[in-house]
Copies of this chain bind each other. A is one copy, B any other.
């Protein structure tokens, strides 16, 4: 099996395939884990980060969040490394009446899905997290929404893969997919001229998946980059500011448990641009400092931007596409870290068993078949 892409999705898929006995190679153009996975904050909050009108995506996210403890434990056991799963819980904060009303809707959805959630008065919230400002208007405590450190997770997955004999080839660019319908074996041609053959190809190259040369037009999935800028912060005084993840409209603050935090994230449609802009940093800080003034004391360790892979409906593409033997595992938009375990499971089912599950069917690449890729449309000047 050939997996194209060494981000958290590609690595998780490769690991699941290898666990089930398949021979796997991962081809990564740059360094594994250095794309969107390197920038992601790792919040595991299926309800709050999904559009509640998209119930299939909600169900997928909830299933993946529930799979996370087992997934993280298995990665830890296989690698001997801490995959950075932190049972921190989450507070969702509202600053005014509109935001408080939105919290009530989240409460209703969570209750409907049987997920634990508790409405807090501002004083209760501030008892749990004394760093919260008195301007807090309302809050929800979501005790089971946790976080994972995507950098630790990809590092642990790489070791787990090595232990299973999976080769992860860094700096290996695929310059052509050779997917003729008559062949039973799929092939890829690499930048160095070599050719690799396999029973199946899984495309997990994030937003670059749609750019792979040799993809037949009818098999293309339309993807667009959705830029996210974040700030990585460190408290010189250690882990004292916040113990829970904090979500507020427009920003979130995810603790790493060691005094480090990720403050994210913008959602910008700016093509393949990954510059850091003054306005983005200002808006993230403004929203966060208002609710947690102590953020002002934190040291900025890093500011960076990543590109989320977005499909026309912002839901992932998982499963077999229009060409036999070609599988998709991309388009995860803002949910790639959360959805890694369930994507790995569904992809392994599709590749090894030829089956799908009701959970995964709404995310079949078939829903986009025949649609022009978004970028190509822009390039050709179409309106």
Contacts and interface: CB of A to CB of B under 8 A. Distances in A.
Contacts of A263: 278
A50 interface: no
B233 A275 contact: no
A258 B248 CA distance: 38
A303 interface: yes
B278 A285 contact: yes
Contacts of A233: 278
A350 to B, nearest CB: 42
Number of copies: 2
Nearest to A296: B279
Contacts of A299: 275-278
A289 interface: yes
Contact of A298 (B277, B286, B297, B303): B277
B303 A300 contact: yes
B276 A300 contact: yes
Interface residues of A, number: 22
A282 B251 CA distance: 15
A277 B231 CA distance: 11
Interface in A254-296: 263, 275-282, 285-286, 289, 295-296
17 contacts: A231-B278, A263-B278, A275-B299, A276-B299, A277-B296, A277-B299, A278-B285, A278-B289, A278-B296, A278-B297, A279-B296, A279-B297, A280-B296, A281-B281, A281-B300, A286-B286, A300-B303
Given A236-B275, A278-B300, 15 more contacts: A233-B278, A275-B299, A276-B299, A276-B300, A277-B296, A278-B285, A278-B296, A279-B289, A279-B295, A279-B297, A279-B298, A281-B285, A282-B285, A282-B289, A303-B303
